[in-house]
């Protein structure tokens, strides 16, 4: 709705609320491997996402318990648990987004490629089912080794005649999440600062409860996001992970030694967690967060939101390699997601800032700034990938890293293709 129509609107708050919820389309998300270390917190985060109307949780076992547990949360989506291969088709039917964290994780001393023998077969079977039951879905591949599992998925979809490179994504968001965190720490900048801007008719806010109501019923709400940004390209294993700190924002005056250390820490981020967990698996919580961020971006894109840009391991012509993690544009429009706003206003500091502005000015089109401490990316496309962005200008150090990663990435891609076709 335009701002103009809002000023002349005399509809009741209740009517406005109805209007807002009708604007959000139904979306089904399926999580395969939902009872695992990543799957469970990811199921929770997807249950909190107001863009999801139906959440299908599939695993070879233990999903009824996870689904019953998550289903008690009073958010929008209906939750269904599916257990065992016989129920896989039902879990996938009608899915808009399928997230795959199924498979074994690393133990100390292992490489991601050491997981190939088990995970390649798991991913192959799941992708065959996707081709059959929801060929249009956007597939978010988390299972390692991503550098090989994504090419496996592509080959399986090609064989089934359903392959659309715009709909297949290797989830490399955790590399971006890590690069942002480590960079922010070194550059001494806040990792994320989000300003919430609300356009509304005049009102008076005297309490947190009223503020909550006001935001919920206000006419137009959107975010200005200012956060640390670091593109990470290449693949998802060791030196194939190439963070582009020369393009990081906000700019910081870091020495070459600091950039080298940041690059190495980002590349070894997974190993850092594997070693700290000492045999009890790899990153699960940060991965669930990263997976939820990426799935949210996919949903926004499908819904026609604007400026959705994420890094992902996708088919591209950016380098001579067939798959490469690049920045991908997923969408383009302004979004106002009131439910999400409501979930984020519990921070007392935010309320204090808000109250400060609230008592100062409250006229037509009052602008209220709330600083929220959440990292969130924005931008998405109705068919998945709208555009794969180029690498941008690279430093000499990054150019060198790019050349070094190519042979390893090429061989992991070929390994996946060979496996799928044997």
Q: Which residue from 275, 349, 290 is spatially nearest to 140, judged by alpha carbons?
A: 290
- Residue 273's binding partner out of ligand LMR, ligand NAD, none, with CB under 5 to 8 Å set by partner kind: ligand LMR
Decide if residue 287 touches ligand NAD (CB under 6 A). yes
Q: Which of 13, 72, 236, 354 is catalytic?
A: 236
* Alpha-carbon distances of 407 from 234, 321, 401, 414, rounded to whole Å: 11, 9, 11, 11
Decide if residue 282 touches ligand LMR (CB under 6 A). yes
Query: Of the two residues 292 and 372, which places its CB atom closer to ligand LMR in the complex?
Result: 292
Distance in angstroms (rounded) separating the CA atoms of residues 61 and 85: 10
Query: Segment contacting ligand NAD (CB under 6 A): 12-20, 97-105, 202-210, 363-371?
Result: 97-105
Q: Which residue's structure tokens are 């060929």?
A: 135
SS3 22: helix
196 neighbors 370 (Cβ within 8 angstroms): yes
Distance in angstroms (rounded) separating the CA atoms of residues 349 and 340: 18
Footprint of ligand NAD on 28-67 (CB under 6 A): 32-33, 35-39, 59-60
Decide if residue 412 touches ligand LMR (CB under 6 A). no
Q: To 10 degrees, what angle do helices 63-71 and 39-47 make?
A: 30
Distance in angstroms (rounded) separating the CA atoms of residues 409 and 2: 48
* Sequence-separated (6 or more) residues with CB below 8 Å from residue 337: 24, 50, 51, 221
- Residue 274's binding partner out of ligand LMR, ligand NAD, none, with CB under 5 to 8 Å set by partner kind: ligand LMR
Nearest distance in Å: CB 208, ligand NAD: 37
Beta bridge partners of residue 56, listed in sequence order: 30, 80
Decide if residue 106 touches ligand LMR (CB under 6 A). yes
DSSP 172-205: -HHHHHHHHHHHHHHHT--SEEEEEEEE------
Options 27, 112, 133, 180; binder of ligand LMR; rule CB under 6 A: 112
Query: Of the two residues 347 and 408, which places its CB atom closer to ligand NAD in the complex?
Result: 408
Query: Of the two residues 57 and 274, which places its CB atom closer to ligand LMR in the complex?
Result: 274
Assess whether 72 carries a catalytic annotation: no
Query: What is the contact surface with ligand NAD in residues (CB under 6 A)?
Result: 32-33, 35-39, 59-60, 101-106, 115, 119, 122, 125-126, 142-144, 146, 171, 174, 236, 281-284, 287
Query: What is the contact surface with ligand LMR in residues (CB under 6 A)?
Result: 105-106, 112, 144, 174, 269-270, 273-274, 282-283
Residues belonging to the active site = 236
């Amino acid at each position: 709705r335009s701002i103009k129509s809002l000023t002349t609107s005399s509809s009741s708050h209740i009517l406005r609320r109805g209007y807002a919820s009708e604007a959000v389309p139904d979306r089904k998300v399926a999580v395969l491997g939902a009872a695992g270390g990543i799957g469970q917190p990811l199921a929770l985060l997807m249950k909190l996402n107001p863009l999801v109307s139906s959440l299908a949780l599939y695993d070879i076992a233990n999903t009824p318990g996870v689904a019953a547990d998550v289903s008690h949360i009073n958010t929008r989506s209906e939750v269904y648990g599916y257990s065992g291969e016989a129920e896989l088709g039902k879990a996938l039917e009608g899915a808009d987004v399928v997230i795959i964290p199924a498979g074994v994780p690393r133990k100390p001393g292992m490489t991601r490629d050491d997981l190939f023998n088990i995970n390649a077969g798991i991913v192959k079977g799941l992708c065959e089912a996707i081709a059959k039951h929801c060929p249009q879905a956007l597939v978010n591949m988390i299972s390692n080794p991503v550098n090989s599992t994504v090419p496996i998925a592509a080959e399986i979809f090609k064989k089934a005649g359903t392959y659309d490179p715009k709909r297949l994504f290797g989830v490399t968001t955790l590399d971006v999440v890590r690069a942002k965190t480590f960079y922010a720490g070194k550059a001494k900048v806040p990792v994320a600062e989000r300003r919430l801007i609300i356009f509304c008719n005049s009102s008076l806010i005297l309490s947190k409860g009223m503020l909550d109501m006001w935001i919920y019923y206000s006419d137009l709400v959107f975010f200005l996001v200012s956060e640390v940004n670091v593109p990470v390209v290449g693949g998802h294993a060791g030196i194939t992970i190439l963070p582009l700190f020369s393009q990081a924002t906000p700019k910081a005056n870091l020495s070459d030694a600091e950039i080298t250390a940041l690059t190495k820490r980002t590349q070894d981020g997974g190993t850092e967690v594997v070693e700290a967990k000492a045999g009890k698996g790899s990153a699960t919580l940060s991965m669930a967060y990263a997976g939820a961020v990426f799935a949210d971006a996919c949903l926004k894109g499908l819904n026609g939101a604007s400026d959705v840009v994420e890094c992902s391991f996708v088919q591209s012509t950016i380098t001579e390699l067939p798959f490469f993690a690049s920045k991908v544009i997923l969408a383009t429009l302004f979004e106002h997601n009131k439910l999400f706003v409501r979930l984020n206003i519990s921070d007392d500091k935010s309320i204090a800032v808000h109250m400060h502005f609230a008592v100062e000015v409250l006229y037509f089109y009052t602008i209220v700034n709330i600083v929220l401490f959440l990292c969130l990316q924005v931008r998405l496309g109705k068919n998945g990938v709208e555009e794969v962005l180029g690498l941008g200008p690279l430093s000499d150090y990054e150019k060198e890293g790019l050349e070094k990663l190519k042979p390893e990435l090429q061989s992991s891609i070929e390994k996946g293709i060979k496996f799928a076709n044997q």
